[in-house]
Every structure is written in C-alpha cells, then in structure tokens.
Amino acid sequence: MSEPKPDAKRLRVLVTGAAGLIGKAATQALRREGHEVLATDRTASADCQALDFTDSRATDALIDSGIEAIVHCGAISGPADARNHPELIAPVNVGGTMNLLELGRRAGIRRMVYCSSTSVYGDIAGHGPVVEDVVLRPKSLYGVSKAAGELVVAGYGQQFGFSTVALRISTVYGPDRKHFCAIRTLVDAAVEGRSGVLDHGLHDFRQYVHVSDAAASIVLALKAERPLRPHYTITGGERWDLRSIAGLVSRLIPGFGYDIGDSADPGEDCHPIFSLAAAKNDLGYVPHTSMEKGIAELIAHVRANGPITEKA
C-alpha cells in the first residue's frame, strides 16, 4: 500500500467487530493510513477493547472518547449464523446499529461506514451487470437485517447531519476467516492431501472478495470527500462457480480431487455479475486480488500455519 498523503485527514475511528475477518483487516488498513483506531469487539483481547454495542450504556460511555468516525463491522455474521440464532438478529444487527448511530450523533462524528452485504439483494434474474438501484428482495433474515440497517443508517445521517455510507460486501475470504467458507474447505483439504467434499454448489456462481480488498473499500469510503450515494456494492470483480474454483485449487496443488454435490446450495443467493462502476467512480475502489492470487496466498498460509477450518 502506498504512503498516505501528507495532507490526508487523520481521524479517531471506532471500529466494531475488530476481531473478525473484515474488522481486523480494516483496523490494520486504517492504522496504516495513519488513523487512530479504537478497536472493539464483543470480547476483550490484546488487540480489542470489549464493547457490547447492543447495550446502550456501553455505547453511551464512549460519547466523550473523541471518536470522529465509526466503522461498523460487527454483526451476526452471515446467513448461517442468522439461521442458528434468529432471536439475536434484530437486537444485534438493527438495534445495535441504532445504538452506534446514537453514539455517533451525540459524539458529533464526521462519518459512519456501515458494512452491509450483497445478501440484501436476494435472488436476481438476468445477466447483469447489476447496479445498486435494483429492488432489494433479501430471502434470509440476515439479508433483511442488513437491508434494514442500511435504511436506519441513511435515515439517521440525513436527519442528524452526518455522512453515512453502506458497503454491500460480497462473500469475503482470507486467512483469518473463522466461519465456513467453501474456498477454505477446498484449500485445507488440498494441503492435507484429502478430497475436497462439499454437499452442494458445484455449479453455483459466487462473487468472492479478498479480505484485503474489502478492507481497502472501507478506507476509501471513510476518506471519500463526499460519497454520491448511500450504498455501494463491493466484490472482487470476478464471478466463479465452485467447479472452477476447485479446478484452480487442483492446478495449484496437482493431484487434488474433489466431490461437490451438483444441487444448488439452498443458502446461496443467485446473482449475476455486479457492477463496480459506482464504487470505482465515487470511491476509487478497484479490486487488486484476483481469485488465483488470493487462493495461492491462502495455500501458502495454510502450509505455513496449518488448516484453518474443521475437516469437511
């Protein structure tokens, strides 16, 4: 990453979910840009201060902490978790977001960057490229909660006079991902000399984004002088089916075999290619990590550090 401009505005930024995949990478990227980051997560660690943002008393305690911006990565993370804990979705993903917005209003922040998801789109017919103004039809509670969060974020900012931007981030992969990821499952199996086994999705197309690109989009959204729209789609710029991804792994690790069910994954949305034009034009976002590069780096990481997921 290039050095920040000498006249770039340095901010004190509250990051939620900073122990998670996107939050951790965003925290590191923001610090490289020279920002002062207050990294928080549900549980305290050496790198994060504890913050339960569903507790308004906890968020109120930060009003005088000098924060100038909020990057909200914390959430019930993904449709799978949402299915397992439906009773938590509204309190965490909507109610918790409102607590942070109220903190932002009272602290007088400059901007809030909200990590949304392409799950807000639901299934989309046609060939694309799909722009942000398409009608949202989320088909999971997770997707509904993220769409609701977008509206609350935009409405709060408009009513109370601070800038907000939502990033609709596609499926993120990278070395630190803790939740299920088909790419990780295949790479772990290949490195260990096992067959890659997945129940569904051989022909499912997905638009992954490497965690470094997702983090870069957050930095860009935070420092953009004036985002021109309330939400932007962020992907890796490529659309791959799982058979092709497994084939790529087998090219990088010769001899790797896989057994992927050819039925559609019931938990996946069907998306044509998304347009990145708005994110490029308004924020300067361009993905830099191709699928081949990202998987090669992930293979190197697993070889150096061991498998990062449970066996399939």
CA atoms within 13 A on the CB side of 312: 22
Q: Specify the pLDDT at position 127.
A: 86
Q: Across residues 246-253, what is the average pLDDT?
A: 97
Within-domain flag for 24: yes
- Write the single-letter amino acid at 102: E
Q: Is residue 295's pLDDT more than 80?
A: yes
Bond from prior residue into 129 cis (ω within 30 degrees of 0): yes
**Can you read off the two tokens belonging to residue 125?**
């017919």
pLDDT of residue 80: 65
Planar angle of CA 156, 162, 166, nearest 5 degrees: 65
Structure tokens of 81? 């978790």
Average pLDDT over residues 4-21: 82
Whether 249 and 140 have beta carbons less than 8 Å apart is answered as no
Q: What are phi and psi of 49, to 5 degrees?
A: -85, 145
Q: What is the pLDDT of residues 66-77, one digit of tens each?
A: 999 999 999 998
Burial of residue 261, with CB atoms counted within 10 A of its CB: 0-12 exposed, 13-18 middle, 19 or more buried: middle
Residue 2 has pLDDT above 80, yes or no: no
Question: DSSP H helical segments within the chain, as ranges?
Answer: 21-32, 56-60, 79-84, 86-89, 96-107, 141-160, 182-192, 211-223, 242-252, 277-278, 291-305
- Give the mean pLDDT of 14-25: 97
- The answer to whether residue 4 scores a pLDDT higher than 80 is no
Return d(Cα 242, Cα 198) in angstroms, integer: 10
**Mean pLDDT along residues 46-65:** 97
Domain containing 77 equals 12-179+207-238+273-288
What integer pLDDT is reported at residue 154 of this predicted model?
97
Residue 150 lies in a domain: yes
Q: How far apart are CA 146 and CA 137, in angstroms?
A: 12
pLDDT of 266: 87
The DSSP line for 225-279 is S--SSSEEEE--S--EEHHHHHHHHHHHSTT--EEE--SPPTT-----PBP-HHI
pLDDT band at 8 (very low <50, low <70, confident <90, very high): low
Q: Which pLDDT score is estimated for 179?
A: 83
For residue 297, pLDDT over 50 is answered with: yes
The HSE-up count of residue 202 (CA atoms within 13 Å, CB side) is 9
The CATH number of the domain where 77 resides is what?
Answer: 3.40.50.720
pLDDT digits 0-9 by tens, 261-290: 999 998 889 999 999 999 999 999 999 999
Residue 186: inside a domain, yes or no? no
pLDDT at 296 over 70: yes
Q: Is residue 84 part of a domain?
A: yes
Weakest mean pLDDT among 60-64, 143-147, 282-286, 305-309: 305-309
Q: Which of the four pLDDT bands, split at 50, 70 and 90, describes residue 311?
A: very low
Residue 123's pLDDT is what?
96
For residues 190-205, give the mean pLDDT: 95
Rounded to 5 degrees, φ, ψ at 96 are -65, -35
85-135 pLDDT tens trace: 788 899 999 999 999 999 999 999 999 999 999 999 999 998 889 999 999
* Residue 78 lies inside a defined structural domain of this protein: yes
Number of domains in the chain: 1
Determine, yes or no, domain membership for 104.
Answer: yes
**Pair of tokens at residue 222:** 């935070």
- Per-residue pLDDT of 163-185, as tens digits, reads 999 999 999 999 988 888 999 99
Mean pLDDT estimate for the chain: 93
Q: Is residue 143 part of a domain?
A: yes
151-162: average pLDDT: 96
Cα–Cα distance, 157 to 164 (Å, whole number): 6
Greatest CA separation found in the chain? 59
pLDDT score recorded for residue 178 = 80
Asked if residue 92 is part of any domain, the answer here is yes
Residue 82 has pLDDT above 70, yes or no: no
Nearest to 308 by CA among 137, 181, 218: 181
Which whole-number Å values give the CA distances from 273 to 52, 70, 118, 138, 240, in the listed order? 36, 30, 11, 17, 10
Contact 207, 236 (CB under 8 A): yes
At a CB cut-off of 8 Å and minimum separation 6, what does 138 contact? 119, 120, 121, 122, 144, 146, 147
* Alpha carbon distance 114, 167 (integer Å): 6
